Structure 1
Amino acid sequence: MALSTLKDRVRAATTGQSATVIGLVEDGKPSSPDQLQSSAQGEVGDVADVALTWLERYGNEFTRALPSHIDTGAFLAAVRAALPGLVPCTPASLLQAVLTCARFGLVPDGRHAVIKREGALAVFVPMYQGYVELMYRSGRVGSVHVGLIHAGDEWNFEPTAPSPLDFTHRPRVELPRAERGEPILAYAFCWMTSGARSQVVILSREDAEAIRDEYSQAYRRAQESGAADSFWHTDFDAMWCKSALRRLHKVVPMSAELVALTKTDDAGEAGQVQVVHAPDEDVQLLEEATAAHKAAEGSQDPQAGPRPLPRKRSQPKRTTRMGRRTGKGCRR
């Protein structure tokens, strides 16, 4: 039998077997996020079914949110690969994280972005390659250079010298890793399309650790819980490079999209709701997803009853230049 649904394809990819789509409909109405959460308290297989069925209903939303240059198949394949580790997350936070990732046009493939579980919440985390991608899209940046200087490399940094003589780096890639030594500095700079070069940002390991300790609540939570599973724990070098790239905003003109990415990244690190500015037709969907997210994290009063799923509302009728409203049955 052909695997025609998102849930079927994910189940087949993760278990090697096809699955039958279960319809989460009661009295002719789709289940709400709270109903999905309560029904997910059973077996692990039921949790996967619930998450996949719920996400399947929003496949068109992800497709519309993606920029035209992003391959929809690659994006959805990356989401499917991430789903097994995200099924314990609240449905509203999972929808919001995937929509945020799609809105920025970053594939959650582990290189450009990641959708990570923080307790019961799904969090969108842009990686440093994602920042580089958005810099190129701005149209102002010709090339971006970010890297790590190892102890055995040849390098020079003289801020008072004219560019490009103020900074040089010759990696000793021909040496064995042990001889090349440990990373000692991260750097980032870019050449603008105008031909000018930005200031070089240099970040020591101590600088990166200070940024981590001051700003990353995800790191502190992982430390306190003993899990040690934040990206600062598992991929310090990538976070080091990302911190150097983020400091470029002080010396390079940043697009509105890149500024929004930085704010969204900060919100995720602080454990706050991640919301991006979307086109007008999708603002209502994101607002209701945010409300559902907060409700899922709030009162668990059984008397409150089920909450509705976030749904896109119809657009208001437009008024023509002659003062007439469009649509059937409208008065002149």
Structure 2
Amino acid sequence: MSLSTLKDRVRAATAEKPAPDATVEALAGIPQQSTPERLHTSAQAEGDAVADLVLTWLERYGDDFTKALPSHIEVKVFLAAVRACLPGLIHCTPASLRQALLTCARFGLIPDGRHAVIKREGKLAVFVPMAQGYVELMYRSGRVGSVHVGMIHEADEWSYEPSAPAPLDFTHKPRVELSKKDRGPAILAYAFCWMTSGARSQVIVLSREDAEAIRDEYSSAYQRAKDSGANDSFWHTDFDKMWAKSALRRLHKVVPMSAELVALLAADDAGDEGRVQVVHAPDPEVAVLAAEAERAYEAAEGSQELADAALPRKSPRTRRTQPTRSSRKSRGARSRKGARR
């Protein structure tokens, strides 16, 4: 029987394990020689069917996603967000798509464009945590009470005096009554945290020049996109979001970070450099043990003074002076003399 429709080709392709170098495009049975116009027309005609059938293929690994996701996120909610981003990932290899999604799930982030994004880099699907994803993990640490990240525009009222005590060292009053045009372009990005202890972190302030320096020095994805002429990295398409995200990432130098947040930084860097990301994602079982150890450590640290007070203490005793050798001889002689009497 001929597979005349795109839906039939997808069903046939998903019935077997794809080749390691195959793409989701091949998995969907779309001819690689298709022009963008033809591909667009085909996707418009049966786009929903393609997304559903590729999602059906991913659902084979539902147990993996269930084990990876934290209990507060349902698999259905996660996969619904995945379905929305599938059309832009048809040129990726299935293996890289599974890895990117599994990494995203292990960090407990939804690829909804706010917390995380699954982006295509050539034939690779890459997990990219967004600013809100970093904020989410900061809250989960239990040490951060609130996170503030924002952009200062040209017409806003603000002051920054690092030598002044918090919170007088930094203020920002956005001119929300003005239009975007009247507020002017963004001139600074900032981020800081209030801790649950009541202390406030140092304020991280980055100028546009600072953000461009970070981009040029550390972002391999930006350099690849620039060299290829594609100019499709997030630094090209969403500069302000990456600017704010860079300010948040700088907080790890001044705020106590959980092991999960440190792992997110490593996974983010690995994805930017084209390396495997899932190896940096926390393993669910290990994460549970680490969380229990962390709680035990904090409980022990918090009760250290009480524990010290409860420790049994020896009562002071009068020190007995040991007799010298000469005094022992003298006492022994007196005893023998008394005995002879």
TM-score range, shorter chain: 0.7 to 0.9
Give yes or no for the alignment of 1:31 onto 2:31.
Answer: no
> Structure 1 43/23 Cα, relative in aligned 2: closer, same or farther at 3 Å?
closer
State the match for 2:155 in structure 1: 152
The DSSP-based 3-state class of the residue aligned with 1:34 is: coil
Find 2:269's aligned residue among 246, 266, 283: 266
1:182-197 correspondence to structure 2 within 5 Å: 182-197=185-200
The DSSP-based 3-state class of the residue aligned with 1:260 is: helix
> Structure 1 155/247 Cα, relative in aligned 2: closer, same or farther at 3 Å?
same
State the match for 1:43 in structure 2: 30
CA offset at residue 281 of structure 1? 9.1
Q: Is the 8 A contact 1:51 1:87 kept in 2?
A: no
Deviations 1:107-138, CA, capped at 9 Å, x for gaps: 00000000001000000000000000000011
Q: Is the 8 A contact 1:187 1:200 kept in 2?
A: yes
1:59-74 correspondence to structure 2 within 5 Å: 59-74=62-77
Deviations 1:157-193, CA, capped at 9 Å, x for gaps: 0011010000000001111222211110000001000
Could you tell me which amino acid in structure 2 is paired with residue 192 of structure 1? M
Find 1:278's aligned residue among 275, 283, 294: 283
Quick one: distance in 1 between partners of 2:237 and 2:286?
Answer: 39
CA offset at residue 52 of structure 1? 4.2
Q: Is the 8 A contact 1:188 1:202 kept in 2?
A: yes
TM-align CA RMSD: 2.8
Find 1:252's aligned residue among 239, 251, 255: 255
> Structure 1 56/219 Cα, relative in aligned 2: closer, same or farther at 3 Å?
same
> Structure 1 73/190 Cα, relative in aligned 2: closer, same or farther at 3 Å?
same
RCO comparison, higher one (Cα < 8 Å, 6+): 1
Give yes or no for the alignment of 1:99 onto 2:102.
Answer: yes
Q: Is the 8 A contact 1:33 1:90 kept in 2?
A: no
Per the normalisation by structure 1, the TM-score is 0.73
Structure 1 gaps of 5+ residues are 1-14, 283-332
> Structure 1 63/199 Cα, relative in aligned 2: closer, same or farther at 3 Å?
same
CA offset at residue 279 of structure 1? 3.6
Find 1:179's aligned residue among 166, 179, 182: 182
Quick one: distance in 2 between partners of 1:167 and 1:180?
Answer: 20
Segment of structure 1 superposing worse, 188-197 or 42-51: 42-51
Could you tell me the percent identity over the aligned residues? Answer: 69
State the match for 2:132 in structure 1: 129
Give yes or no for the alignment of 1:243 onto 2:230.
Answer: no
Q: Is the 8 A contact 2:100 2:118 kept in 1?
A: yes
Quick one: distance in 2 between partners of 1:41 and 1:74?
Answer: 23
State the match for 2:235 in structure 1: 232
Query: Highest Rg: 1 or 2?
Result: 2
State the match for 1:292 in structure 2: none
- Tell me how many residue pairs correspond in the alignment: 263
Q: Is the 8 A contact 1:148 1:185 kept in 2?
A: yes
The DSSP-based 3-state class of the residue aligned with 2:225 is: helix
State the match for 1:115 in structure 2: 118
Quick one: distance in 1 between partners of 2:188 and 2:125?
Answer: 32
State the match for 2:78 in structure 1: 75
Find 1:138's aligned residue among 136, 141, 156: 141
CA offset at residue 60 of structure 1? 2.0
Q: Is the 8 A contact 2:10 2:28 kept in 1?
A: no
Q: Is the 8 A contact 2:93 2:123 kept in 1?
A: yes
Quick one: distance in 2 between partners of 1:234 and 1:24?
Answer: 33
Q: Is the 8 A contact 2:154 2:184 kept in 1?
A: yes
State the match for 2:337 in structure 1: none
Could you tell me which amino acid in structure 2 is paired with residue 185 of structure 1? L
Greater helix share, structure number: 2
State the match for 1:294 in structure 2: none
Could you tell me which amino acid in structure 2 is paired with residue 208 of structure 1? A
Deviations 1:248-281, CA, capped at 9 Å, x for gaps: 0010000000000000000111111112231459
> Structure 1 181/35 Cα, relative in aligned 2: closer, same or farther at 3 Å?
closer
Per the normalisation by structure 2, the TM-score is 0.71
Could you tell me which amino acid in structure 1 is paired with residue 124 of structure 2? L
Could you tell me which amino acid in structure 2 is paired with residue 174 of structure 1? E
